[in-house]
Amino acid sequence: MVIGIAADHGGYELKQMIRQHLEQQRFTIIDFGAYLLNTADDYPDFVLPLAEAVGGGKADRGIAVCGSGVGACIAANKVKGVRAALISEHFSAHQGVEDDDMNLICLGGRVVGVNAAIEFVDAFLAAKYSGAARHERRLAKVKKIEGP
């Protein structure tokens, strides 16, 4: 599985820890930055390339971190093919994939601790979309919003 990760300064430290965690596993990681802590950087500069990779199929799943996770989530969901959500608890980290085919999670580096964040990431990456008819029907309605 190819996993894209990205963060601005508000999520930089957590992104580095998540990256370290994922490197110990079987994933291929694409890091879209930031590569340095720069308090003047802007989350769209990192989140949009990540979202384009996920939406375009270059990455299977994405993890975006900013201070709250909110800006990252707003930006990521503007990209076609991306189904992003701000995750702050375990249930939604996997249920969002199982029911809604979520392909990008957003985390708040100033909100969640590293251990909780890693649990959410692991649950997200282990989860599989069920493909159940009712979810397909709902997703088709969501995809219609994106247009052709």
Q: Does 10 bind ligand RB5 (CB under 6 A)?
A: yes
Q: CA angle at residue 125 from 119 to 126, to 5 degrees?
A: 90
Amino acid (one-letter) located at 136: E
Beta strands in the chain (DSSP E): 2-7, 28-31, 61-66, 84-86, 104-108
**Cβ closer to ligand RB5: 67 or 96?**
67
CB of 119 to ligand RB5, least distance (A): 21
CB of 61 to ligand RB5, least distance (A): 21
Q: How far is CA 59 from CA 31, 32, 115, 137, in A?
A: 11, 11, 24, 25
From the CA atom positions of the chain, what is the Rg in Å?
14
**Separation between Cα atoms, residue 41 and residue 128, nearest integer Å:** 34
Q: Can you tell me which residue has the tokens 């299977």?
A: 60
Q: Does 55 bind ligand RB5 (CB under 6 A)?
A: no
**Cβ closer to ligand RB5: 7 or 127?**
7
**Residue 66 is among the residues annotated as catalytic for this protein:** yes
**Cβ closer to ligand RB5: 66 or 127?**
66
Q: Does 66 bind ligand RB5 (CB under 6 A)?
A: yes
Q: Does 71 bind ligand RB5 (CB under 6 A)?
A: yes
Question: How many amino acids of this chain bind ligand RB5 (CB under 6 A)?
Answer: 8
User: What is the contact surface with ligand RB5 in residues (CB under 6 A)?
Assistant: 8, 10, 43, 66-68, 70-71
